[in-house]
Amino acid sequence: MGQLFRKGRAYRYLAILCWILACLVLGHMATGQQLVPEWVWAPLVAISLAMLGVLFLQLTAVEREATVDILTGSMTRRALHRDLDRFTQRGEPFGLIFIDVDGLKQINDTHGHSAGDELLQRAADCICRSSRPSDLVYRYGGDEFVVLVPGADAKLTATICARITNTAGEGVLSAGSAACPDDGFNGLTLLASADLTMYQLRSQRRSATRPDMSPHTPAVYDIGAGEYVR
């Protein structure tokens, strides 16, 4: 939105031009006479139309910035809440998959944020390749993604969830799922349910593979080898 407000001067000029045009049109309607010469009228109309076009393009760009994550190309949290409202209002069945990228903080601390950004991009690509073309992928937070699965029940959603984690490899992504109406009807409640399932499955996996590892201990990703080492 900052970019939009920085263009405020141009918008004020546009408002002034529109006000002038409105006065001229109303004056013409009231008197039946053209109040300004043709050589003045035509440029005013042309400039106003051009500025309206620029305003439309800028508003479109601002809307895209608000709904598309620049780093991963996924949609944003704002877009997710918009789509959840739409699906729940229509009463359509859908599934939600909550995904966490394990070890992102350690990557940022050890290798720098550029390596962390690369990991997020790889994760987003893996999620998109493992999902159906009709599924919607969102970056929910720093290391969190959500997949909205239209028309899916709990079984299909869990199947896609497992496919995502299996494609990524052991311990790379943690994921849990929930579905409407199987697990509830409220979008935020379903998100919380999928998040809880993700956490429980991750804890079980770590306890099974490394009994000495706390469920709160994240895995460690070797950016050079492209794999997790713990």
CA–CA distance, 166 with 186 (Å, rounded to integer)? 28
DSSP 76-125: PHHHHHHHHHHHHHHT--EEEEEEEETTHHHHHHHH-HHHHHHHHHHHHH
102 flagged as catalytic: no
Rg (CA), the chain: 26
77-90 and 187-209 helices cross at what angle (nearest 10)? 120
Structure tokens at 116: 């962390």
Catalytic residue among 100, 135, 143, 195: 143
Q: Which positions are annotated as active-site residues?
A: 143
